[in-house]
């Protein structure tokens, strides 16, 4: 991966990158990033920083976004503290209350094996949500730690800003690695917001985008491995529902915490396809083709695919995906 020592050489005396956007994207795509430089590099990949910005430009961007985040957060906290002031706001408050309960339940299930999200309290219950009205109270005895509270606050702020879909299960999966990189609430929020701009249609309640991706994936399987396609056809599995989770949360649950970051920055850095994740999906299916061809039912395939979680080799998979794309 690109090291801290390498990354600092990419800046000139004004703090402007001395390589082109395409050169840097290519480097990140092929090499990945050491974790210590992700908090800088991801802001370029997620359109927070312009690729030609100076250090002074970036300081101004950070300050402006921090102020914007603080303002958004204060707005929903004020509604909580004071109650709705109009019928419209009352309906929004009712909707927000339910969305927040849903978000909190999900947060309490998010990456609890990762130290920063684990619960240090021996008496805490990991499945007890904190109700919306208690959002500012001490949550130490309800399965929470400070990082989980940050996850919750960022998700509530996001659903306050983007209230068309509200909170949908799985959003916390996408947020957790981003907070793991930045540790800063405003930085995490804005990078998550940009990430969701790319993938928020995954979470639309009509599921049209997910149906579209599964359909495109099926076309890709037919094109790249007709034997696997015909096996799925024989079993009545052309819906490919066993790949649904992969695409919904961009392989978040399939790779370990840090390998997932490598997968994401590979997808973000390439300009080859808006659906590059589909080539990664085909790569995983082809890696497991011998086993998949042995199964005689959807349930067997689903169980096997789910059990692959955190056992997939990241670099091999990314190399295979690139080879598949070149064939395409």
In a domain, 247, yes or no: yes
What is the span of the domain harbouring residue 24? 4-45
pLDDT of residue 143: 60
- Please indicate, yes or no, whether residues 144 and 60 belong to a single structural domain of this protein: yes
In a domain, 223, yes or no: yes
- Please indicate, yes or no, whether residues 126 and 40 belong to a single structural domain of this protein: no
User: What is the mean predicted confidence (pLDDT) over 290-296?
Assistant: 98
Average pLDDT value for the chain: 88
pLDDT of residue 93: 56
User: What is the mean predicted confidence (pLDDT) over 10-39?
Assistant: 98
Question: Is residue 87's pLDDT more than 70?
Answer: no
- Distance CA(63)–CA(11), nearest Å, equals 21
Helix (H), strand (E), coil (C) string for 115-172: HHHCCCCCCCCCCCCCCHHHCCCCCCCCCCCHHHHHHHHHHHHHHHHCCCCCCCCCHH
* Percent of the chain residues past pLDDT 90, beyond the cut: 76
- Please indicate, yes or no, whether residues 152 and 270 belong to a single structural domain of this protein: no
Handedness of CA 321, 322, 327, 328 (dihedral sign): positive
CATH code of the domain covering residue 299: 1.10.472.80
For residue 96, what are its two tokens? 């927000």
pLDDT of residue 140: 46
Q: Which of 198, 217, 244 is the last residue of a domain?
A: 198
- Please indicate, yes or no, whether residues 92 and 181 belong to a single structural domain of this protein: yes
- Please indicate, yes or no, whether residues 239 and 131 belong to a single structural domain of this protein: no
In a domain, 50, yes or no: no
Place of tokens 């309290």: 121
- Please indicate, yes or no, whether residues 193 and 60 belong to a single structural domain of this protein: yes
- Please indicate, yes or no, whether residues 116 and 247 belong to a single structural domain of this protein: no
- Distance CA(141)–CA(126), nearest Å, equals 10
pLDDT of residue 80: 82
The Cα-based distances of 247 to 110, 169, 243, 303 in angstroms read 18, 14, 7, 17
Question: Is residue 111's pLDDT more than 60?
Answer: yes
For residue 24, what are its two tokens? 């840097």
If one compares 185 and 99, the residue with the highest pLDDT of the two is 185
Reported as a single tens digit per residue, the pLDDT across 234-289 is 999 999 999 999 999 999 999 999 999 999 999 999 999 999 999 999 999 999 99
- Please indicate, yes or no, whether residues 185 and 297 belong to a single structural domain of this protein: no
Q: Which of 165, 198, 231 is the last residue of a domain?
A: 198
- Please indicate, yes or no, whether residues 295 and 227 belong to a single structural domain of this protein: yes
Question: Is residue 99's pLDDT more than 60?
Answer: no
In a domain, 203, yes or no: no
User: What is the mean predicted confidence (pLDDT) over 28-54?
Assistant: 98
- Please indicate, yes or no, whether residues 308 and 267 belong to a single structural domain of this protein: yes
- Please indicate, yes or no, whether residues 75 and 100 belong to a single structural domain of this protein: yes
The pLDDT-based confidence of 127 (bands split at 50, 70, 90) is: very low
Reported as a single tens digit per residue, the pLDDT across 195-222 is 999 999 999 989 999 999 999 999 999 9
In a domain, 61, yes or no: yes
Number of domains within the chain: 3
- Please indicate, yes or no, whether residues 193 and 212 belong to a single structural domain of this protein: no
- Terminal Cα-to-Cα distance of the chain (whole angstroms): 27
pLDDT of residue 128: 28
DSSP per-residue codes, 292-324 = HHH--SHHHHHHHHHHTTT-S-HHHHHHHHHHH
């Amino acid at each position: 991966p690109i090291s801290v020592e390498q990354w600092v050489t990419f800046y000139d005396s004004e703090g402007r990158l001395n390589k082109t956007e395409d050169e840097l994207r290519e480097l990140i795509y092929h090499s990945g990033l050491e974790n210590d430089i992700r908090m800088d590099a991801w802001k370029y990949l997620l359109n927070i920083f312009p690729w030609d910005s100076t250090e002074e430009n970036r300081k101004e961007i950070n300050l402006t976004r921090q102020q914007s985040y603080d303002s958004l957060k204060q707005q929903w906290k004020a509604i909580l503290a004071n109650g709705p002031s109009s019928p419209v706001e009352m309906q929004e408050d009712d909707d927000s209350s339910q969305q927040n309960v849903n978000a909190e339940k999900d947060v309490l299930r998010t990456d609890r094996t990762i130290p920063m999200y684990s619960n240090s309290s021996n008496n805490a219950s990991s499945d007890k949500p904190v109700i919306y009205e208690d959002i500012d109270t001490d949550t130490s005895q309800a399965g929470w730690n400070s990082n989980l509270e940050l996850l919750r606050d960022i998700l509530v702020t996001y659903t306050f800003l983007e209230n068309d879909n509200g909170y949908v299960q799985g959003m916390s999966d996408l947020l957790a690695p981003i907070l793991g990189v930045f540790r800063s609430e405003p930085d995490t929020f804005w990078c998550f917001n940009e990430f969701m701009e790319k993938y928020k249609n995954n979470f639309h309640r009509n599921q049209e985008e997910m149906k579209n991706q599964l359909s495109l994936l099926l076309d890709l399987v037919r094109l790249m491995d007709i034997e696997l396609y015909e096996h799925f056809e024989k079993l009545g599995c052309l819906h490919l529902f066993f790949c649904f989770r992969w695409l919904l949360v961009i392989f978040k649950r399939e790779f370990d915490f840090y390998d997932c970051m490598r997968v994401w920055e590979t997808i973000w850095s390439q300009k080859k396809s808006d659906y590059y994740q589909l080539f990664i999906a085909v790569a995983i299916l082809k890696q497991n083709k011998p086993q998949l061809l042995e199964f005689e039912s959807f349930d067997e395939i689903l169980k096997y695919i789910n059990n692959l979680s955190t056992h997939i080799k990241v670099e091999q998979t990314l190399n295979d995906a690139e080879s598949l794309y070149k064939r395409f």
